[in-house]
């Protein structure tokens, strides 16, 4: 498969994942499992962008590690914020005042 075809498939998968993530996130009663699924979709999308469009596999090891930490760190933060949102709000309110 040529490189242009791979980029086209990556772009198509990003569009499909975006539509799927919007459908999941638009549920009226979004429970914790929906948050986990949205975070999973977000992690997959960021990984596709990093690998296909930013050409991260050819980057230096340090940059690659930092970007992959971001790729997987953000969905984890979304899940933690959903699980402990009230506690985090109270904690940050105490830090600001």
- For residue range 40-91, list pLDDT tens digits in order: 888 899 989 988 888 888 889 999 999 889 888 999 988 988 888 888 888 8
Encoded tokens for 93: 């309110």
- Output the CA–CA distances (angstroms, integers) from residue 21 to 2, 36, 39, 41, 61, in the order listed: 28, 11, 9, 6, 31
Global confidence as pTM: 0.77
Confidence at residue 62, expressed as pLDDT on a 0 to 100 scale: 94
Sequence ranges of the domains in the chain: 3-96
């Amino acid at each position: 498969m040529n490189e242009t075809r791979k980029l086209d498939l990556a772009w198509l998968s990003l569009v499909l994942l975006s539509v799927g993530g919007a459908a999941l996130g638009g549920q009226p009663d979004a429970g914790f499992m929906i948050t986990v699924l949205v975070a999973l979709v977000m992690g997959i999308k960021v990984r596709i962008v990093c690998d296909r469009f930013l050409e991260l596999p050819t980057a230096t090891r340090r940059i690659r590690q930092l970007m992959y930490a971001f790729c997987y760190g953000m969905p984890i933060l979304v899940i933690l914020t959903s699980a402990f949102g009230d506690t985090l709000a109270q904690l940050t309110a105490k830090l600001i005042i």
